[in-house]
Chains A and B, each alone.
Chain A
Amino acid sequence: MSALSLSNITVTLGETAVLDDITLHVERGEFVSILGPSGAGKSTLFRLLTGALAPDRGTVHLNGAPIVANSRAFAYLPQRDALLPWRRIIDNVTLGLEVQGMPRAEARAKVSPLMPEFGLDGFAHHFPAQLSGGMRQRAALLRTVVQDRPVQLLDEPFGALDALTRMTLQRWLESRWQAARWTTLLITHDVREAVALSDRIYVLSRRPARVIAEFTVTAARPRLGRALPPEAVALEARLLETLLTQTGET
Chain B
Amino acid sequence: MARTSGPWARRVRHALPALFSVLAALALWEVYVRLSGISPLVLPAPSRVIAQMAANRALLWDNTLPTLTATLLGFSCSLTVAFLFSVLIDFVPRLRRALFPVFVISQTLPLVAIAPLVVLWFGFGLTPKILLVALVTFFPMLIALVDGYDSTEPEIQALLASMGASRARIFRTARLPSALPFFFAGLRISITYAVVAAIFAEYVGARAGLGIVILNAKNSFRPDLMLAAVVISSALTLCLFAATAIVQAFVLRWRTP
Residues of A within 8 A of B (CB-CB), count? 28
CA–CA, A85 and B174, complex, Å: 10
Say how far A133's CB is from chain B's closest CB, in angstroms: 15
Contact mask A131-156 → B, CB, 8 Å, 1/0? 00000000000000001000001000
Contact mask A86-127 → B, CB, 8 Å, 1/0? 110000000110011000000000000000000000000011
Question: Do B156 and A84 have beta carbons less than 8 Å apart?
Answer: yes
Say how far A159's CB is from chain B's closest CB, in angstroms: 12
Q: Is B257 an interface residue (CB 8 A)?
A: yes
Q: Is A68 an interface residue (CB 8 A)?
A: no
Question: Do A86 and B254 have beta carbons less than 8 Å apart?
Answer: yes
CA–CA, A130 and B254, complex, Å: 9
CA–CA, A52 and B173, complex, Å: 19
Question: Do A99 and B165 have beta carbons less than 8 Å apart?
Answer: yes
CA–CA, A47 and B155, complex, Å: 12
Say how far B101's CB is from chain A's closest CB, in angstroms: 31
CA–CA, A76 and B160, complex, Å: 9
Question: Do A82 and B153 have beta carbons less than 8 Å apart?
Answer: yes
Not counting A127-B257, A129-B256, a sample of 10 additional A-B residue pairs whose C-beta atoms are within 8 angstroms of each other reads: A47-B158, A52-B158, A76-B158, A84-B174, A86-B254, A96-B163, A100-B164, A129-B255, A129-B257, A147-B163
Find chain B residues with CB under 8 A from A99 CB: 160, 163-165, 169, 173
CA–CA, A79 and B165, complex, Å: 20
CA–CA, A50 and B162, complex, Å: 6
Q: Is B204 an interface residue (CB 8 A)?
A: no
Say how far B170's CB is from chain A's closest CB, in angstroms: 9
CB-contacts of B61-93 with A (<8 A): none
Question: Do B257 and A78 have beta carbons less than 8 Å apart?
Answer: no
CA–CA, A50 and B163, complex, Å: 9
Q: Is B46 an interface residue (CB 8 A)?
A: no
Q: Is A202 an interface residue (CB 8 A)?
A: no
Q: Is B177 an interface residue (CB 8 A)?
A: yes
Contact mask B190-226 → A, CB, 8 Å, 1/0? 0000000000000000000000000000000000000
**Assuming A52-B161, A99-B164, A130-B257, is B155 touching A84 (CB within 8 A)?**
no
Q: Is A61 an interface residue (CB 8 A)?
A: no
Q: List 11 A-B contacts (CB under 8 A).
A: A75-B162, A82-B155, A82-B159, A86-B254, A87-B254, A99-B163, A99-B173, A100-B164, A128-B254, A129-B255, A130-B257
CB-contacts of A7-39 with B (<8 A): none
A interface, by DSSP: helix, strand, loop or mixed?
A: loop
Name A52's closest neighbour in chain B (CB-CB): B161
Q: Is B180 an interface residue (CB 8 A)?
A: yes
B interface, by DSSP: helix, strand, loop or mixed?
A: helix
**Assuming A50-B161, A70-B164, A129-B254, is B155 touching A80 (CB within 8 A)?**
yes
Contact mask A44-64 → B, CB, 8 Å, 1/0? 000100111000000000000
Q: Is A74 an interface residue (CB 8 A)?
A: yes
CA–CA, A74 and B255, complex, Å: 31
Find chain B residues with CB under 8 A from A52 CB: 158, 161
**Assuming A85-B254, A130-B257, is B177 touching A72 (CB within 8 A)?**
no
Say how far A123's CB is from chain B's closest CB, in angstroms: 12
**Assuming A84-B174, A86-B180, is B164 touching A76 (CB within 8 A)?**
no
Find chain A residues with CB under 8 A from B253 CB: 127
Question: Do A76 and B162 have beta carbons less than 8 Å apart?
Answer: yes
CA–CA, A99 and B168, complex, Å: 11
Find chain A residues with CB under 8 A from B177 CB: 84, 86
CA–CA, A96 and B161, complex, Å: 10
Find chain A residues with CB under 8 A from B160 CB: 95, 99
CB-contacts of B139-179 with A (<8 A): 153, 155-156, 158-165, 169, 173-174, 177
Say how far B203's CB is from chain A's closest CB, in angstroms: 42
Find chain A residues with CB under 8 A from B257 CB: 126-127, 129-130
Find chain A residues with CB under 8 A from B155 CB: 78-80, 82
